[in-house]
Amino acid sequence: MSAAGVFHAYLKNRQIKVARELQGVEDRISQYKLDITTLEIRLDDQLNPILLNDRLIEMSSDLRGIPPGMVEEVPAFRGEFPVASPLPGSRDSPPLPSTSLSTVASGS
């Protein structure tokens, strides 16, 4: 009987330890969520056009506003437009066929 009591105490202690670990994980998750929310708010503040304009003025930036009529809208790529191929000779382009290889292959 005493072995069952010891085993029961062991299981209870293990259960308490696991519950504490879970609480610690849940606390860290809630802190991370709070940190993410705080960062999103700071990012929204930094990307606010009015505040951004004010900061540029404070910094005496050379950037100037562009009139809306000067901006050309470019449609977002959704798969219906062909993708431009790389320029010949660029690092990403396929190698150009060599004339010396074609003469060797033809037996001339």
DSSP secondary structure string for all residues of 12-44? HHHHHHHHHHHHHHHHHHHHHHHHHHHHHHHHH
In a domain, 65, yes or no: no
Average pLDDT, the chain: 80
Separation between Cα atoms, residue 9 and residue 67, nearest integer Å: 76
Separation between Cα atoms, residue 25 and residue 36, nearest integer Å: 16
Residue 63's pLDDT is what? 82
Residue 93's pLDDT is what? 54
Residue 100's pLDDT is what? 46
Residue type, 25: V
Confidence of residue 101 (pLDDT cuts 50, 70, 90): very low
Residue 16's pLDDT is what? 97
Mean pLDDT of 48-62: 89
Q: Evaluate if pTM is beyond 0.75.
A: no
In a domain, 102, yes or no: no
More confident residue, 59 or 89: 59
Separation between Cα atoms, residue 31 and residue 22, nearest integer Å: 14
Percent of the chain with pLDDT over 90: 40
In a domain, 90, yes or no: no
How many domains is the chain built from? 1
